[in-house]
Structure 1
């Protein structure tokens, strides 16, 4: 496979030089290569999505970040349909802004999935066009909502395979699960009437602990004989330590699967800020962050999900400039791309390159081995096993999970034991992309297991892999 050094990739490489974290490997370890990244058009299929939210309120600039979209390597992008932006005059729709986004993203190998939201204040009882706004409630507004949903799905049914209905409905304290269930069913039936093969996504839950809300929602669908109208369940649930979320996520999965075991789970929106708390807004703003801890956190969320068979939408591609009148005001620095004050792109952050490594490597050619569990002499290690289908070579993800990612972390040498195929074992840093030869005196095969000793496992995912399983 040939890789060309384009102007954008040169800019990315030079901008990341000053951001590289200190090496976690011993100075005596030999560097033997570097992970290659791939454009989305060169990747056949994967479970990875990137956030493209808030274009409906003009808080980001698609035309500025679109050239970074393909090289990132995610195969899907989450967009928001923006009823209020489409219909500023009653009964008149302007889809020009989405026409400039949806086909362009698809041409870059990134399939759009569109969230239907928010309210529209030109109608009495139409709800609010902002995060945590209320759904439409009046008969006139609900009829107008139905008409807009019908219009947008009709327009993009051949380009958008998946539709998500609303975002974080539980963030509004006046919403109930019953009310949202009724709203979801009416919307889902319209989508299916226009696009029978559409995949439907619910519910963009802000919390992973509001099981009563979720239970009420599914009870409505059960009574309406509408449980088949959900293909994918999305949730968000930000946590300072991403590994602490999974017990509650598992409770959510078990609840949903009692109603419909065919529902697929997806992390619909998650990411970490890249700046101190005095600068950023949004979730996790009560802690200080840096570009390094953002990259670490994002990697842990992505590969923690992936190892549990959960798809991920990484939030988000560009920093978001929230304006007055919304749920919050200021810059949400969870973007993989740093922005200028006018929302144009200043440069990629360290997390952009880290995400590229994961998106490029963990595609449909790499399969999760759910019945293979790496073990360590340290209980704080998280690990998952994979196999590269073509060569049979193993890939093992490992990281220390005991706390929130830190700017300074000294890896504790650990012994790792796992079943697998390792002809040429190497160690991979997923932030820098550097590949290191593992000294021969630090690994051995014992029966059908491999034992790796004195492995420097940091507080973000690294790989022990067979060299044949990597993009070099």
Structure 2
């Protein structure tokens, strides 16, 4: 039961942000919502009768959820917010991760230019999307100021530390009414020859105390770990916090960690959680950045670039990460909304194709990918009214299948996510015909393809009820999440 207590803390900690600025965005939302649906072929041939499609909702139409979308690398101009912003609200995520960009804000010592970030924060909030900001990277205009890039060094010199403090103070003071969650650095463990667990711990405590002195109710997010299995990098912070009686300075631990089979990641995360909870069981865990590329390995850069990917396997992988996390009570930041064009001088150079939106060479948006629609379906459906069931009374006949049970609070209708977790998602996959038994509430059960959004009636001959136990037979289970749901729990269009 302890795990489910933590699940509720995760959802509470990351679900809601402040909405302060309001500007007209209805025309943009209507423009995107009115676009013709993508032609989506998943290879999942369902023989059941079609009864409708999932309705998607904009972020403003969703009161609360734990979902976040990545808006990273704007600090280095590798993406163009103003090209993709019309897709942001219609996507349905309630939060967006932004990188504050010290070096972009302060190009002349002591002078800050926040205009670029003001415009982004204001527009996101107006669309019903609450920003959370990661504070990084270094600033080379100061001696010992660190590097303005991924895997760069932290500030090391006294003058640089003072300048960092001044920038953080200015950031938190400026955005404290719009931003409640502050993440301190990104993937410090990636800079193995520059940052140690101890140096990060010192830096984190310094920054966290400064944030809390300005914004006492701020949520503090630690690490953004590149490798969740590096317990030796994580533990020094908690040792130091315990010694200084400051364990309350970590509210949320964010981690990344990429695996071609996303379901293989969870044993590593469980080890990390157990280690951290020995120091502070109140720390909640959030998947701070994860997503798959959409192109062959010759094209993409970044994590998992040693495997070939397509837009279909990207959509499958993203769904497995999102709903694998959600079924374990872990809030997720899907990485990322737009393809990123890394420039020379950074940790890597080229196009990272993990975006839900395909870009042109000038970073403008060519079109949404298959994964955009898949994410839309999840973000629109799994809001705060869909609660993870604490009893998980679902049984699946067969091996290598993940299944999680939920309840729609207004109707008490049951929903079950299910997928084959055996291997990396494939372009061609023969679904497993599977029997599923659930203790729950169904009156008119349906089957939902979460990539296409198509809803199918489950024929009467393929399900039966005995009290509160429902048995579904010969249900096609592909290598990505599909849904068995009480139809009254869904928003559908014909």
TM-score (norm 1): 0.97
**Is 2:120 aligned against 1:101?**
yes
Contact 2:340 2:352 in 1 (8 A): yes
**Is 2:112 aligned against 1:88?**
no
Distance 1:81 1:393 in 2: 42
1:149 CA drift (Å) = 0.4
Distance 1:257 1:395 in 2: 30
Deviations 1:34-86 (A, max 9, x none): 00000000100000000000000000000000110000000000000000001
Could you tell which deviates more after superposition, 253-262 or 367-376? Answer: 367-376
1:441 CA drift (Å) = 0.7
**Equivalent of 1:307 in 318, 323, 327:** 327
**Equivalent of 2:436 in 416, 432, 442:** 416
Deviations 1:92-151 (A, max 9, x none): 111111011011101100000000000000111111000000110111111110111001
Match of 2:45 in 1: 24
Contact 1:12 1:348 in 2 (8 A): no
**Equivalent of 1:6 in 18, 30, 35:** 30
List aligned pairs for 1:8-407, cutoff 5 A: 8-11=32-35, 13=37, 16-17=38-39, 19-26=40-47, 29-174=48-193, 175-407=195-427
Contact 1:12 1:347 in 2 (8 A): no
Distance 1:235 1:116 in 2: 15
Alignment length (residue pairs): 464
What SS does the corresponding residue of 2:161 show, helix, strand or coil? helix
Q: CA 1:228–1:388 in structure 2 vs 1: closer, same or farther (change >3 Å)?
A: same
1:447 CA drift (Å) = 4.0
Contact 1:161 1:199 in 2 (8 A): yes
Match of 2:25 in 1: none
Contact 2:44 2:478 in 1 (8 A): no
Q: Which runs of 5+ in 1 are unaligned?
A: none
Contact 1:24 1:458 in 2 (8 A): no
Q: CA 1:12–1:294 in structure 2 vs 1: closer, same or farther (change >3 Å)?
A: farther
What SS does the corresponding residue of 1:276 show, helix, strand or coil? coil
Contact 1:20 1:350 in 2 (8 A): no
Could you tell which deviates more after superposition, 450-459 or 172-181? Answer: 172-181
Distance 2:273 2:46 in 1: 38
List aligned pairs for 1:408-447, cutoff 5 A: 408-447=428-467
What SS does the corresponding residue of 1:245 show, helix, strand or coil? helix
1:220 CA drift (Å) = 1.5
RMSD: 1.1
1:12 CA drift (Å) = 5.2
Distance 1:400 1:43 in 2: 30
Distance 1:172 1:24 in 2: 46
1:5 CA drift (Å) = 9.2
Distance 2:418 2:36 in 1: 27
Could you tell which deviates more after superposition, 87-96 or 367-376? Answer: 367-376
Contact 1:126 1:141 in 2 (8 A): yes
